[in-house]
Chain A
Protein backbone atom coordinates (compact mmCIF):
# COMPACT_ATOMS: atom_id res chain seq x y z
CA UNK A 1 0.00 0.00 0.00
CA UNK A 2 1.15 3.54 -0.73
CA UNK A 3 2.16 5.28 2.51
CA UNK A 4 0.53 8.39 3.95
CA UNK A 5 3.73 10.31 3.34
CA UNK A 6 3.93 9.28 -0.33
CA UNK A 7 0.32 10.22 -0.86
CA UNK A 8 1.02 13.65 0.55
CA UNK A 9 4.02 14.15 -1.75
CA UNK A 10 1.96 13.03 -4.73
CA UNK A 11 -0.86 15.46 -3.88
CA UNK A 12 1.64 18.32 -3.61
CA UNK A 13 3.30 17.37 -6.86
CA UNK A 14 0.01 17.21 -8.77
CA UNK A 15 -0.95 20.58 -7.40
CA UNK A 16 2.38 22.16 -8.24
CA UNK A 17 2.58 20.81 -11.79
CA UNK A 18 -1.08 20.91 -12.81
CA UNK A 19 -2.94 23.10 -10.35
CA UNK A 20 -5.39 20.34 -9.40
CA UNK A 21 -5.82 20.25 -5.64
CA UNK A 22 -6.67 16.81 -4.24
CA UNK A 23 -5.63 17.65 -0.67
CA UNK A 24 -9.24 17.77 0.53
CA UNK A 25 -10.18 14.38 -0.91
CA UNK A 26 -10.95 11.43 1.34
CA UNK A 27 -7.54 9.87 1.96
CA UNK A 28 -8.94 6.37 2.34
CA UNK A 29 -10.51 6.48 -1.09
CA UNK A 30 -7.70 8.41 -2.77
CA UNK A 31 -5.14 5.82 -1.64
CA UNK A 32 -7.09 3.09 -3.39
CA UNK A 33 -7.39 5.18 -6.55
CA UNK A 34 -3.65 5.81 -6.65
CA UNK A 35 -3.00 2.10 -6.18
CA UNK A 36 -5.34 1.42 -9.06
CA UNK A 37 -3.44 3.96 -11.16
CA UNK A 38 -0.22 2.06 -10.37
CA UNK A 39 -1.86 -1.10 -11.70
CA UNK A 40 -3.25 0.47 -14.85
CA UNK A 41 0.06 2.13 -15.69
CA UNK A 42 2.24 -0.79 -14.63
CA UNK A 43 3.95 1.34 -11.98
CA UNK A 44 5.72 -0.44 -9.16
CA UNK A 45 7.71 2.31 -7.50
CA UNK A 46 6.64 5.66 -6.14
CA UNK A 47 9.45 7.42 -8.00
CA UNK A 48 7.99 6.21 -11.31
CA UNK A 49 4.68 7.95 -10.80
CA UNK A 50 6.52 11.13 -9.83
CA UNK A 51 8.62 11.11 -12.97
CA UNK A 52 5.52 10.54 -15.10
CA UNK A 53 3.84 13.54 -13.50
CA UNK A 54 6.92 15.68 -14.09
CA UNK A 55 7.75 14.70 -17.60
CA UNK A 56 4.90 13.00 -19.50
CA UNK A 57 2.81 15.40 -21.45
CA UNK A 58 -0.90 14.76 -21.14
CA UNK A 59 -0.44 12.62 -18.03
CA UNK A 60 -2.62 14.99 -16.04
CA UNK A 61 -5.70 14.19 -18.08
CA UNK A 62 -5.13 10.50 -17.58
CA UNK A 63 -4.48 10.97 -13.87
CA UNK A 64 -7.65 12.98 -13.28
CA UNK A 65 -9.62 10.49 -15.32
CA UNK A 66 -8.42 7.49 -13.35
CA UNK A 67 -8.35 9.03 -9.90
CA UNK A 68 -11.94 10.21 -9.98
CA UNK A 69 -14.67 7.59 -9.62
CA UNK A 70 -17.12 7.97 -12.50
CA UNK A 71 -19.51 5.08 -11.86
CA UNK A 72 -23.08 6.19 -12.60
CA UNK A 73 -26.48 4.98 -13.83
CA UNK A 74 -29.72 6.33 -15.26
CA UNK A 75 -32.37 6.71 -12.57
CA UNK A 76 -29.85 5.55 -9.96
CA UNK A 77 -31.87 4.88 -6.80
CA UNK A 78 -35.30 4.87 -8.47
CA UNK A 79 -37.13 5.90 -5.31
CA UNK A 80 -35.13 9.10 -5.21
CA UNK A 81 -36.33 9.91 -8.74
CA UNK A 82 -39.87 9.01 -7.77
CA UNK A 83 -39.67 11.62 -5.04
CA UNK A 84 -38.24 14.17 -7.49
CA UNK A 85 -41.04 13.41 -9.90
CA UNK A 86 -43.83 13.58 -7.34
CA UNK A 87 -42.68 16.25 -4.89
CA UNK A 88 -40.06 18.49 -6.46
CA UNK A 89 -40.95 18.74 -10.16
CA UNK A 90 -44.47 20.06 -9.39
CA UNK A 91 -42.91 22.87 -7.32
CA UNK A 92 -40.43 23.68 -10.06
CA UNK A 93 -43.33 23.80 -12.49
CA UNK A 94 -44.65 26.97 -10.87
CA UNK A 95 -41.54 28.91 -11.92
CA UNK A 96 -41.35 30.84 -15.19
CA UNK A 97 -37.94 29.34 -15.85
CA UNK A 98 -36.14 26.36 -14.30
CA UNK A 99 -32.39 26.21 -13.72
CA UNK A 100 -30.76 22.99 -12.56
CA UNK A 101 -27.11 22.28 -11.80
CA UNK A 102 -25.74 18.74 -11.96
CA UNK A 103 -22.42 19.06 -10.12
CA UNK A 104 -20.21 16.02 -10.77
CA UNK A 105 -22.43 14.74 -13.57
CA UNK A 106 -19.92 12.12 -14.80
CA UNK A 107 -20.99 10.61 -18.16
CA UNK A 108 -24.39 12.28 -17.97
CA UNK A 109 -26.83 9.46 -17.17
CA UNK A 110 -28.21 11.55 -14.32
CA UNK A 111 -28.75 14.58 -16.54
CA UNK A 112 -30.64 12.60 -19.18
CA UNK A 113 -32.77 11.06 -16.45
CA UNK A 114 -33.66 14.53 -15.22
CA UNK A 115 -34.46 15.69 -18.75
CA UNK A 116 -36.85 12.75 -19.13
CA UNK A 117 -38.65 13.71 -15.91
CA UNK A 118 -38.95 17.31 -17.09
CA UNK A 119 -40.13 16.31 -20.53
CA UNK A 120 -42.84 14.07 -19.09
CA UNK A 121 -44.01 16.96 -16.91
CA UNK A 122 -44.01 19.14 -20.01
CA UNK A 123 -41.41 21.46 -18.49
CA UNK A 124 -38.29 20.74 -20.51
CA UNK A 125 -38.90 23.64 -22.90
CA UNK A 126 -38.52 26.15 -20.05
CA UNK A 127 -35.62 24.44 -18.31
CA UNK A 128 -31.84 24.68 -18.49
CA UNK A 129 -29.64 21.87 -17.18
CA UNK A 130 -26.07 22.86 -16.39
CA UNK A 131 -23.92 19.77 -16.12
CA UNK A 132 -20.37 20.04 -14.82
CA UNK A 133 -17.52 17.76 -13.86
CA UNK A 134 -13.79 18.02 -13.17
CA UNK A 135 -13.08 15.24 -15.67
CA UNK A 136 -13.22 16.44 -19.28
CA UNK A 137 -13.26 12.90 -20.67
CA UNK A 138 -16.61 12.03 -19.09
CA UNK A 139 -18.09 15.32 -20.27
CA UNK A 140 -17.35 14.38 -23.88
CA UNK A 141 -19.38 11.20 -23.46
CA UNK A 142 -22.16 13.09 -21.70
CA UNK A 143 -22.52 15.57 -24.55
CA UNK A 144 -23.09 12.76 -27.02
CA UNK A 145 -25.78 11.03 -24.99
CA UNK A 146 -24.41 7.64 -25.96
CA UNK A 147 -24.71 4.94 -23.32
CA UNK A 148 -23.87 1.23 -23.46
CA UNK A 149 -26.82 -0.77 -24.74
CA UNK A 150 -26.09 -3.61 -22.29
CA UNK A 151 -27.13 -1.27 -19.45
CA UNK A 152 -30.48 -0.33 -20.96
CA UNK A 153 -32.47 -3.19 -19.48
CA UNK A 154 -31.45 -2.09 -16.01
CA UNK A 155 -32.15 1.57 -16.82
CA UNK A 156 -35.60 0.78 -18.19
CA UNK A 157 -36.36 -1.08 -15.00
CA UNK A 158 -35.07 1.81 -12.86
CA UNK A 159 -37.21 4.15 -14.94
CA UNK A 160 -40.32 2.10 -14.25
CA UNK A 161 -39.56 1.90 -10.51
CA UNK A 162 -39.16 5.68 -10.50
CA UNK A 163 -42.76 5.99 -11.62
CA UNK A 164 -42.17 6.27 -15.36
CA UNK A 165 -45.02 4.98 -17.47
CA UNK A 166 -43.93 5.76 -21.02
CA UNK A 167 -42.21 3.30 -23.31
CA UNK A 168 -38.55 3.82 -22.31
CA UNK A 169 -37.32 2.68 -25.71
CA UNK A 170 -38.92 5.75 -27.29
CA UNK A 171 -36.13 7.84 -25.78
CA UNK A 172 -33.22 6.28 -27.66
CA UNK A 173 -32.19 4.50 -30.81
CA UNK A 174 -29.99 1.43 -30.61
CA UNK A 175 -26.91 1.29 -32.76
CA UNK A 176 -23.75 -0.85 -32.61
CA UNK A 177 -24.03 -1.69 -28.92
CA UNK A 178 -24.88 1.87 -27.99
CA UNK A 179 -28.10 3.64 -27.10
CA UNK A 180 -28.22 7.14 -28.54
CA UNK A 181 -30.60 9.32 -26.55
CA UNK A 182 -32.79 11.66 -28.52
CA UNK A 183 -31.46 15.14 -29.32
CA UNK A 184 -34.62 16.63 -27.97
CA UNK A 185 -33.40 15.66 -24.50
CA UNK A 186 -30.00 17.33 -24.66
CA UNK A 187 -31.08 20.51 -26.38
CA UNK A 188 -31.46 22.12 -22.98
CA UNK A 189 -28.20 20.87 -21.52
CA UNK A 190 -25.02 22.91 -21.12
CA UNK A 191 -21.85 20.96 -20.34
CA UNK A 192 -18.69 22.47 -18.96
CA UNK A 193 -15.66 21.64 -16.91
CA UNK A 194 -15.93 22.95 -13.36
CA UNK A 195 -13.83 22.04 -10.34
CA UNK A 196 -15.78 22.10 -7.08
CA UNK A 197 -12.54 22.53 -5.16
CA UNK A 198 -11.42 25.74 -6.78
CA UNK A 199 -14.07 27.22 -9.08
CA UNK A 200 -16.67 29.73 -8.01
CA UNK A 201 -20.42 29.86 -8.27
CA UNK A 202 -21.58 30.72 -11.80
CA UNK A 203 -25.35 31.11 -11.59
CA UNK A 204 -28.37 30.82 -9.35
CA UNK A 205 -30.28 27.55 -9.40
CA UNK A 206 -33.63 26.17 -8.34
CA UNK A 207 -32.23 22.68 -7.87
CA UNK A 208 -28.68 21.47 -7.41
CA UNK A 209 -28.02 17.75 -7.80
CA UNK A 210 -24.69 16.61 -6.43
CA UNK A 211 -24.97 12.91 -5.90
CA UNK A 212 -22.14 10.61 -4.85
CA UNK A 213 -19.51 13.28 -5.24
CA UNK A 214 -19.15 14.55 -1.67
CA UNK A 215 -18.33 11.04 -0.44
CA UNK A 216 -14.93 11.46 -2.12
CA UNK A 217 -14.18 14.61 -0.11
CA UNK A 218 -13.14 15.00 3.53
CA UNK A 219 -15.41 16.84 5.94
CA UNK A 220 -13.61 20.12 5.49
CA UNK A 221 -13.91 20.15 1.70
CA UNK A 222 -17.51 18.94 1.94
CA UNK A 223 -18.24 21.99 4.01
CA UNK A 224 -16.60 24.29 1.47
CA UNK A 225 -18.58 22.78 -1.39
CA UNK A 226 -21.84 22.89 0.55
CA UNK A 227 -21.27 26.59 1.16
CA UNK A 228 -20.71 27.03 -2.56
CA UNK A 229 -24.06 25.30 -3.18
CA UNK A 230 -25.73 27.44 -0.56
CA UNK A 231 -24.58 30.58 -2.35
CA UNK A 232 -25.69 29.17 -5.72
CA UNK A 233 -29.26 28.32 -4.70
CA UNK A 234 -32.24 30.58 -5.05
CA UNK A 235 -34.42 31.16 -2.01
CA UNK A 236 -36.40 27.93 -1.38
CA UNK A 237 -34.20 26.13 -3.88
CA UNK A 238 -33.45 22.43 -3.43
CA UNK A 239 -30.24 20.53 -2.85
CA UNK A 240 -30.20 16.80 -3.66
CA UNK A 241 -27.40 14.50 -2.51
CA UNK A 242 -26.65 10.79 -2.81
CA UNK A 243 -28.48 8.22 -0.66
CA UNK A 244 -25.70 7.99 1.92
CA UNK A 245 -24.65 11.62 1.97
CA UNK A 246 -25.65 14.19 4.56
CA UNK A 247 -25.21 17.88 5.39
CA UNK A 248 -25.44 17.17 9.09
CA UNK A 249 -21.69 17.53 9.67
CA UNK A 250 -21.56 20.88 7.89
CA UNK A 251 -21.93 24.53 8.91
CA UNK A 252 -24.77 25.15 6.43
CA UNK A 253 -27.13 22.64 8.00
CA UNK A 254 -29.13 25.34 9.80
CA UNK A 255 -29.99 27.00 6.52
CA UNK A 256 -31.67 23.92 5.14
CA UNK A 257 -34.72 21.86 5.90
CA UNK A 258 -34.69 18.16 5.05
CA UNK A 259 -37.63 16.56 3.29
CA UNK A 260 -38.64 13.81 5.72
CA UNK A 261 -35.69 11.48 5.82
CA UNK A 262 -34.95 11.80 2.13
CA UNK A 263 -31.73 13.18 0.68
CA UNK A 264 -33.31 16.41 -0.48
CA UNK A 265 -32.96 19.65 1.42
CA UNK A 266 -34.78 22.93 0.90
CA UNK A 267 -32.93 26.19 1.42
CA UNK A 268 -34.93 28.11 3.99
CA UNK A 269 -32.53 30.90 4.99
Chain B
Protein backbone atom coordinates (compact mmCIF):
# COMPACT_ATOMS: atom_id res chain seq x y z
CA UNK B 1 0.00 0.00 0.00
CA UNK B 2 1.46 3.37 -0.88
CA UNK B 3 1.08 6.76 0.68
CA UNK B 4 -1.64 7.99 -1.64
CA UNK B 5 -3.92 5.05 -0.95
CA UNK B 6 -7.37 6.34 -0.13
CA UNK B 7 -9.16 4.61 2.69
CA UNK B 8 -12.89 4.20 2.22
CA UNK B 9 -15.70 2.94 4.41
CA UNK B 10 -13.86 4.07 7.54
CA UNK B 11 -16.11 4.63 10.55
CA UNK B 12 -13.46 5.35 13.12
CA UNK B 13 -9.86 6.54 13.17
CA UNK B 14 -7.96 5.87 16.39
CA UNK B 15 -4.76 7.72 17.19
CA UNK B 16 -2.58 6.43 20.00
CA UNK B 17 0.48 8.12 21.40
CA UNK B 18 2.68 8.80 24.36
CA UNK B 19 5.67 11.09 24.95
CA UNK B 20 6.08 13.43 21.98
CA UNK B 21 2.71 12.65 20.41
CA UNK B 22 0.85 15.78 21.44
CA UNK B 23 3.23 17.80 19.27
CA UNK B 24 2.16 15.76 16.25
CA UNK B 25 -1.52 16.34 16.98
CA UNK B 26 -0.97 20.04 17.45
CA UNK B 27 0.64 20.18 14.05
CA UNK B 28 -1.90 18.01 12.24
CA UNK B 29 -5.25 19.01 13.78
CA UNK B 30 -5.32 22.71 12.80
CA UNK B 31 -4.90 21.67 9.17
CA UNK B 32 -7.98 19.43 9.25
CA UNK B 33 -11.24 21.16 8.48
CA UNK B 34 -13.58 18.27 9.09
CA UNK B 35 -13.77 14.53 9.48
CA UNK B 36 -15.47 12.99 6.50
CA UNK B 37 -18.03 10.53 7.91
CA UNK B 38 -15.74 9.09 10.54
CA UNK B 39 -15.04 9.69 14.22
CA UNK B 40 -11.56 10.48 15.51
CA UNK B 41 -10.68 8.90 18.85
CA UNK B 42 -7.50 10.02 20.56
CA UNK B 43 -5.84 7.85 23.21
CA UNK B 44 -2.81 9.47 24.83
CA UNK B 45 -0.81 8.48 27.88
CA UNK B 46 -0.73 11.18 30.50
CA UNK B 47 -0.80 11.89 34.18
CA UNK B 48 -4.08 11.20 35.91
CA UNK B 49 -6.45 14.04 36.58
CA UNK B 50 -5.23 16.21 33.70
CA UNK B 51 -8.34 15.80 31.60
CA UNK B 52 -9.21 19.40 31.00
CA UNK B 53 -5.66 20.38 30.25
CA UNK B 54 -5.42 18.05 27.29
CA UNK B 55 -8.96 18.72 26.09
CA UNK B 56 -8.37 22.46 26.15
CA UNK B 57 -5.04 22.14 24.38
CA UNK B 58 -6.61 20.15 21.60
CA UNK B 59 -9.81 22.18 21.34
CA UNK B 60 -7.97 25.42 20.67
CA UNK B 61 -6.13 23.71 17.84
CA UNK B 62 -9.15 22.46 15.92
CA UNK B 63 -12.44 23.58 14.43
CA UNK B 64 -13.78 20.04 14.65
CA UNK B 65 -16.28 19.58 17.51
CA UNK B 66 -15.08 17.59 20.51
CA UNK B 67 -17.55 15.24 22.16
CA UNK B 68 -17.10 14.84 25.90
CA UNK B 69 -16.35 11.21 26.68
CA UNK B 70 -18.68 9.77 29.28
CA UNK B 71 -19.61 6.16 29.73
CA UNK B 72 -21.89 4.85 26.92
CA UNK B 73 -21.67 7.93 24.66
CA UNK B 74 -22.38 7.02 21.05
CA UNK B 75 -19.48 7.26 18.61
CA UNK B 76 -20.67 9.66 15.93
CA UNK B 77 -19.00 10.63 12.68
CA UNK B 78 -17.57 14.13 12.52
CA UNK B 79 -16.54 14.33 16.16
CA UNK B 80 -13.30 14.06 18.09
CA UNK B 81 -13.24 11.95 21.27
CA UNK B 82 -10.42 12.15 23.79
CA UNK B 83 -9.88 9.21 26.15
CA UNK B 84 -10.13 10.44 29.76
CA UNK B 85 -7.24 9.76 32.12
CA UNK B 86 -7.45 6.81 34.49
CA UNK B 87 -9.95 4.79 32.46
CA UNK B 88 -9.49 2.25 29.72
CA UNK B 89 -11.54 3.09 26.65
CA UNK B 90 -13.62 0.27 25.15
CA UNK B 91 -16.13 -0.05 22.33
CA UNK B 92 -19.49 -1.81 22.42
CA UNK B 93 -21.12 -3.52 19.44
CA UNK B 94 -23.76 -0.78 19.26
CA UNK B 95 -20.90 1.71 18.67
CA UNK B 96 -20.96 3.32 22.06
CA UNK B 97 -17.99 3.84 24.34
CA UNK B 98 -17.55 2.03 27.67
CA UNK B 99 -15.03 3.07 30.28
CA UNK B 100 -13.27 0.67 32.61
CA UNK B 101 -11.02 1.21 35.63
CA UNK B 102 -9.41 -2.22 35.61
CA UNK B 103 -5.66 -2.79 36.09
CA UNK B 104 -3.18 -0.77 34.05
CA UNK B 105 -1.87 -2.40 30.88
CA UNK B 106 1.68 -1.58 29.78
CA UNK B 107 1.84 0.65 32.88
CA UNK B 108 -0.90 2.72 31.31
CA UNK B 109 -4.56 3.56 31.77
CA UNK B 110 -5.82 4.37 29.21
CA UNK B 111 -3.83 1.74 27.39
CA UNK B 112 -3.55 2.07 23.61
CA UNK B 113 -3.54 -1.73 23.20
CA UNK B 114 -6.81 -2.03 25.11
CA UNK B 115 -8.57 0.65 23.05
CA UNK B 116 -7.20 -0.65 19.74
CA UNK B 117 -8.08 -4.29 20.45
CA UNK B 118 -11.60 -3.42 21.51
CA UNK B 119 -12.12 -1.21 18.45
CA UNK B 120 -10.82 -3.98 16.18
CA UNK B 121 -13.43 -6.32 17.63
CA UNK B 122 -16.26 -3.87 16.96
CA UNK B 123 -15.23 -2.13 13.73
CA UNK B 124 -13.24 -4.82 11.91
CA UNK B 125 -12.30 -3.49 8.45
CA UNK B 126 -14.06 -0.13 8.99
CA UNK B 127 -11.25 1.02 11.20
CA UNK B 128 -7.94 2.82 10.79
CA UNK B 129 -5.37 3.47 13.49
CA UNK B 130 -2.21 5.52 13.79
CA UNK B 131 0.48 4.95 16.41
CA UNK B 132 2.61 7.98 17.20
CA UNK B 133 5.71 8.87 19.19
CA UNK B 134 6.34 7.38 22.64
CA UNK B 135 8.69 5.63 25.03
CA UNK B 136 6.51 2.61 25.73
CA UNK B 137 5.65 -0.70 24.02
CA UNK B 138 1.93 0.06 24.19
CA UNK B 139 0.01 0.00 20.89
CA UNK B 140 1.84 -2.77 19.04
CA UNK B 141 -0.49 -5.60 20.08
CA UNK B 142 -3.45 -3.35 19.36
CA UNK B 143 -2.24 -2.59 15.85
CA UNK B 144 -1.75 -6.29 15.26
CA UNK B 145 -5.36 -6.97 16.32
CA UNK B 146 -6.63 -4.23 14.00
CA UNK B 147 -4.63 -5.67 11.13
CA UNK B 148 -5.98 -9.15 11.74
CA UNK B 149 -9.53 -7.78 11.78
CA UNK B 150 -8.95 -6.16 8.38
CA UNK B 151 -8.40 -2.55 9.47
CA UNK B 152 -5.69 -0.19 8.24
CA UNK B 153 -2.61 0.34 10.41
CA UNK B 154 -0.27 3.31 10.30
CA UNK B 155 2.87 3.99 12.31
CA UNK B 156 4.68 7.30 12.57
CA UNK B 157 8.08 7.13 10.91
CA UNK B 158 10.44 6.76 13.89
CA UNK B 159 12.89 9.34 12.49
CA UNK B 160 10.10 11.92 12.53
CA UNK B 161 9.06 11.07 16.09
CA UNK B 162 10.30 12.93 19.13
CA UNK B 163 10.61 9.59 20.92
CA UNK B 164 11.19 6.80 18.41
CA UNK B 165 10.76 3.83 20.73
CA UNK B 166 7.03 3.23 20.45
CA UNK B 167 6.69 3.43 16.65
CA UNK B 168 10.01 1.58 16.30
CA UNK B 169 8.77 -1.23 18.52
CA UNK B 170 5.62 -1.58 16.41
CA UNK B 171 7.57 -1.73 13.16
CA UNK B 172 9.86 -4.39 14.57
CA UNK B 173 7.05 -6.58 15.85
CA UNK B 174 4.27 -6.28 13.29
CA UNK B 175 4.02 -5.08 9.70
CA UNK B 176 2.00 -1.88 9.57
CA UNK B 177 0.35 -1.00 6.27
CA UNK B 178 2.00 2.40 6.23
CA UNK B 179 4.93 4.15 7.91
CA UNK B 180 4.44 7.90 7.53
CA UNK B 181 6.06 11.15 8.62
CA UNK B 182 3.95 13.99 10.01
CA UNK B 183 3.17 15.58 6.66
CA UNK B 184 2.13 12.24 5.22
CA UNK B 185 -0.02 11.49 8.25
CA UNK B 186 -1.95 14.69 7.56
CA UNK B 187 -2.46 13.65 3.93
CA UNK B 188 -3.57 10.20 5.01
CA UNK B 189 -6.22 11.57 7.37
CA UNK B 190 -7.44 14.13 4.83
CA UNK B 191 -7.93 11.39 2.26
CA UNK B 192 -10.04 9.08 4.40
CA UNK B 193 -13.47 8.46 2.79
CA UNK B 194 -12.88 10.94 -0.04
CA UNK B 195 -13.28 8.52 -2.93
CA UNK B 196 -16.72 8.44 -4.52
**A214 contacts chain B at the CB level, 8 A cutoff:** yes
Contact of A32 among B92, B102, B145 (CB under 8 A): B102
B100: chain A residues at CB < 8 Å are 26, 28-29, 32, 69, 215-216
**B27 contacts chain A at the CB level, 8 A cutoff:** no
Using A244-B84, A246-B71 as known contacts, say yes or no to A26 and B101 having CB atoms under 8 A apart: no
A27: chain B residues at CB < 8 Å are 92-93
- C-alpha spacing A1/B141, complex, angstroms: 12
Contact of B87 among A26, A28, A244 (CB under 8 A): A244
**A249 contacts chain B at the CB level, 8 A cutoff:** yes
- C-alpha spacing A28/B120, complex, angstroms: 11
A134 to chain B, nearest CB (A): 16
Chain A 69-90 interface 0/1 with B at a Cβ cutoff of 8 Å (1 = within): 1010000000000000000000
**A48 contacts chain B at the CB level, 8 A cutoff:** no
B98: chain A residues at CB < 8 Å are 26, 28-29, 215
Interface residues of A in 1-29 (CB under 8 A from B): 1, 4, 26-29
- C-alpha spacing A246/B102, complex, angstroms: 19
- C-alpha spacing A243/B118, complex, angstroms: 22
Contact of A219 among B70, B84, B96 (CB under 8 A): B96
**B24 contacts chain A at the CB level, 8 A cutoff:** no
**B121 contacts chain A at the CB level, 8 A cutoff:** yes
- C-alpha spacing A244/B122, complex, angstroms: 22
B114: chain A residues at CB < 8 Å are 32
B179 to chain A, nearest CB (A): 26
B40 to chain A, nearest CB (A): 19
Using A26-B98, A32-B100, A71-B102 as known contacts, say yes or no to A244 and B69 having CB atoms under 8 A apart: yes
Using A1-B117, A216-B100 as known contacts, say yes or no to A26 and B70 having CB atoms under 8 A apart: no
Contact (Cβ within 8 A) A33 B71: no
**A135 contacts chain B at the CB level, 8 A cutoff:** no
- Give the contact-size bracket for chain A: 20 to 34
**B38 contacts chain A at the CB level, 8 A cutoff:** no
B159: chain A residues at CB < 8 Å are none
Chain A 220-259 interface 0/1 with B at a Cβ cutoff of 8 Å (1 = within): 0010000000000000000000111110110000000000
Chain B 82-109 interface 0/1 with A at a Cβ cutoff of 8 Å (1 = within): 0010010011110010111111000000
Number of interface residues of B (CB under 8 A): 23
Q: Nearest CB to that of A161 among chain B residues? A: B49
Interface residues of B in 107-156 (CB under 8 A from A): 114, 117-118, 121-122, 145
Contact (Cβ within 8 A) B121 A215: no
**A113 contacts chain B at the CB level, 8 A cutoff:** no
Contact of A215 among B91, B101, B103, B118 (CB under 8 A): B101
B103: chain A residues at CB < 8 Å are 71
- C-alpha spacing A31/B121, complex, angstroms: 11
B52 to chain A, nearest CB (A): 11
- C-alpha spacing A31/B118, complex, angstroms: 9
Interface residues of A in 131-152 (CB under 8 A from B): none
Contact (Cβ within 8 A) A249 B72: yes
**A184 contacts chain B at the CB level, 8 A cutoff:** no
A246: chain B residues at CB < 8 Å are 70-72
Interface residues of A in 81-116 (CB under 8 A from B): none
List 6 interface pairs A-B (beta carbons < 8 Å), by A numbering. Answer: A27-B92, A31-B121, A71-B101, A212-B101, A215-B101, A249-B72
Binding site for B on A (CB under 8 A): 1, 4, 26-29, 31-33, 69, 71, 212, 214-216, 218-219, 222, 242-246, 248-249
Give 14 new A-B contacts, CB below 8 A, not counting A32-B114, A71-B103.
A1-B121, A28-B121, A32-B118, A69-B100, A71-B102, A212-B101, A215-B87, A215-B98, A215-B99, A219-B96, A243-B84, A244-B84, A246-B71, A246-B72
